[in-house]
Amino acid sequence: MKALVFHAFGGPEVLALEDIADPALAPGTVKVRTKAIGLNYADVYRRRGHYHLAGEPPYILGYEGAGVIEEAAPDVNGVQVGDRVGFADAPHANAELVVVPADKVIPLPDEISFETAAAVLLQGLTAHYLANDSFAVGPQDRVLVHAAAGGVGQLLVQLCKAKGARVLGLTSSEEKREAALRAGADEVLLYGEDWADGCLRWSAAHGRGEPGMDEPGMDVAYDSVGATLMDSFRAVRTRGTVVFFGMAGGDPPLVDPRMLMDASKTLTGGDLWNHVATAEARISRSASLFEDVLAGRLRLEAPRIFSLADGADAHRLIESRTSTGKILLIP
């Protein structure tokens, strides 16, 4: 089979399409012929050597994709050859064939294309648990979304709006601001020295209309930047919540628990794999996402498409931080 591989850590130039041996089927797994593969920034970290990779070169990146089951181990039940499936947590996805544990495959409705599945699963599942589990977003909640033009950000904006919340986004450029507004944000601020003050002013003008709940400050801030954590605390109201789920801008500062006590503010962390630890959780959450897509409640920006052979160019684009939609690799 052909796979996008690299033999040494480095920049996008280390990636190359090569012929390698087909992966071996193991008990409890299926072999998927990929039709679309999602590119995520974690792939960049792995390529650079920032994340530990097991085994020896050549290394294969990628964890998310969609395709057709071509072979199933004899002990696999519930799925079969020919099924259309997606996956969000199976290594070595940047290849024509991927071995996926059977309990990690996600059945695809006929109406959901391979490209849509590969574009929505990993980031959509993240947005789903954030809006439902980390903080139960409800009508009239004032929600702050960092990196609102990013993959998770745009989906989180839409899921919160579908729940009746009012959403304020944060982005780094006017172009990304427009993308976040198209996703449905009520307003979008640019990162700058006074963005937390801007959140306080905006929230003061968009009170809940409930006694004791109209003080300035957002009800919840979803922070995927990390270095902005203390400003996120400043942007939320007394008894507000900050959900920390990423460090795209660097490590977060240490948090003094006395501040949490004094302001009755809540800090909670978020990691997707704690929320989709079972096949049932993967399938039910994915089904909810697919239903939202088909009903028009969740709109995906058209993905940027690259052939698997042009994977290095795809990595250059995602590293440029200029893209606002999903980037897909097509074998």
Domain boundaries, the chain: 2-120+276-330, 139-269
Handedness of CA 220, 222, 226, 227 (dihedral sign): negative
pLDDT band at 214 (very low <50, low <70, confident <90, very high): low
CATH topology of domain 139-269: Rossmann fold (3.40.50)
Which amino acid type is present at position 293? V
> Exposed/middle/buried for 217, CB within 10 Å: 0-12, 13-18, 19+?
buried
Cβ neighbourhood burial of 310 (10 Å; 0-12, 13-18, 19+): middle
* Residue written as token pair 């390698």: 20
Rg (CA), the chain: 21
The pLDDT > 70 percentage for the chain reads 98
End-to-end CA distance of the chain: 10
d(CA 177, CA 28): 45
- Give the torsion through C-alpha atoms of 135, 323, 87, 71, to 10 deg: 180
Give dist(CA 59, CA 328) in Å, integer.
Answer: 19
Q: Do the domains 139-269 and 2-120+276-330 match in fold?
A: no
pLDDT(266) > 80: yes
Q: How far apart are CA 59 and CA 80, in angstroms?
A: 29
* 3-class secondary-structure state, position 171: strand
Confidence of residue 55 (pLDDT cuts 50, 70, 90): confident
Least Cα distance to 318 among 151, 123, 125, 146 occurs for: 151
pLDDT of residue 213: 58
Report pLDDT for 6.
96
- pLDDT confidence bin for 212, thresholds 50/70/90: low
With bands split at pLDDT 50, 70 and 90, how would you rate the model's confidence at 209? Answer: low
Closest CA to 96 of 12, 20, 207: 20
Residue 76, Cβ neighbours under 10 Å: how many? Answer: 19
Q: How far apart are CA 275 and CA 165, in angstroms?
A: 23
Which 8-state DSSP code applies to residue 56? -
Residue 57 structure tokens:
């070169």
Q: Is 186 helix (H, G, I), strand (E, B) or coil?
A: coil
Residue 82 to residues 30, 68, 79, 160, 212, Cα–Cα distance (Å): 11, 6, 9, 36, 57
Summarize the confidence of residues 98-113 as an average pLDDT. Answer: 97
Which amino acid is present at 329? L
* DSSP codes of every residue in 299-324: -PPPPEEEEGGGHHHHHHHHHTT---
How far CA 22 is from CA of 194, 267, 310, in Å, comes to 54, 45, 21
Answer whether 14's CB lies under 8 Å from 47's CB.
yes
Mean pLDDT of the chain: 94
Q: Report the 10 Å Cβ neighbour count for 63.
A: 20
Question: How many whole angstroms separate alpha carbon 81 and alpha carbon 31?
Answer: 9
> Could you tell me the pTM of the whole model?
0.92
- In this prediction, residue 247 carries a pLDDT of 85
Q: Is the pLDDT of residue 157 over 90?
A: yes
CA distance linking residue 72 with residue 10, whole number of Å: 35
The CATH T-level fold of domain 2-120+276-330 is Quinone Oxidoreductase; Chain A, domain 1 (3.90.180)
322, with CB counted inside 10 A (0-12, 13-18, 19+), is exposed
